[in-house]
Structure 1
Amino acid sequence: MQLALSVRGLNKMYHSGPRSRSMAVPALRDISLDVDAGEIVGLVGRPGAGKSTLLLCLAGLLRPDEGSITWFGEQVTGHHVPAGLAYVPQRAGYYSFLTVREALEYYATLHDLSSANRTAQVESALREVCLHVHATRRVSSLSPSLIQRLGLAQSLIGSPRAILLDETLCGEGLLFDRDVVSLLTRLTRRGITIILAAPNPVELHRIAARIINIVEGRAVTARRESAARVAERLC
């Protein structure tokens, strides 16, 4: 199995209070983990445990104080983030006056794609998450579950090799939705790695090959299952 992600000795501190009396608060403590290509990994933990901080570091959007992050053999640095990483935050923001299709078209312009390829990828993403029937609706009119589908569609633009979802699919039952589960399964069969965070492990146990429990910035538990065992649960 090809290694997609290697994390070693990751530490991150936040500082609170006035600069003269600033207190260092540990957010991540000595995180080390490996993730295979095509693996679904779930991150669980209470609010403030460090899940979002870890995903931000993995996406190259937040610099750790110590440690290394390597995607597909390329190290994440302050000046370089390997291509092919898709990150969707917990509360993704979209221009409410745009239609669903326009929101994805706008996001697609951030990628180095030809006009024809942008159009093709947007239409493909709409169908993959079953949003094609809502493509002309304004973002402002979407329900929370449809907004979550829009976030998932966004992550598919640009032919990602890894997708990082910060509670993007949680709370609206999407991790139990047959179409969404089928999509995640197809993505992993293409070798796409998926790391997703959720406050409730029940939402992740069905689809994730491994659950990592984040407690006060530490990865304290991990459970790994074979791809075959996960596929059996999804049938």
Structure 2
Amino acid sequence: MTGHPKTIFVLTGAGVSAESGLGTFRDRGGLWARFDPMKLATPEAYAADPDTVLDFYDHRRRGVVAAEPNAAHRALARAEARCAARGGRLFLCTQNVDDLHERAGSRAVTHMHGELLKARCCACGAVTPWRADLSRADDCPACGASGRMRPDVVWFGEMPMHLDAIEAALAAADLFVAVGTSGAVYPAAGYVRQARSLGIPTCEINLEPSDNADAFDEARYGPASEALPRYLADLGL
């Protein structure tokens, strides 16, 4: 696109964090190719076998804590600051449950699938920062209930978070960019077509074409740590 877009909507997926050592989900060798999500990532699985579910997320949480942001995360943080400096906005919506965007310097991140470094009480609904392992022996810091804490992530069968804010930001955007997404998980996979219906230019940045690659106006392929900084530089960011 020509000129500088004032309001950019960026959607990120697992491909952004893959180069930081965090596993993807639907690729060959991804988490859901090795583990059954119905046994690990549903409310029913948690109700039937909470210890197994919590152990799975403990391993993932330790991986997040050990990981470091990569060049793609840092490029988005710089772009956010530069957009703001020229009176614009970069709305960063992520499907990722890690905190690498924040640790790279992004100041406003909307986690539509929740955050692994937080725990939610099933008794009172309180959400608490949580970096350690999580077990049924843990009490809720807010209400004291025991054995009712779960990861504050969206499981299969649950509604994504912050949908109203996401829809409003998408409607206000001048440019839609999806980075490292599979194009297979809705509602996120539908945002590109929603953007196009509003006349918003769209671009996919990915290691390879996503499931909905045909819906994008433009595509840049390669590792996110290389392709995304180049694309943002082309935008003057």
Whether TM exceeds 0.5 here: the answer is: no
Q: Which has the higher contact order (CA 8 A, sep 6+)?
A: 1
The structure that is strand-richer by fraction is: 1
TM-score, length of structure 1 as denominator length: 0.36
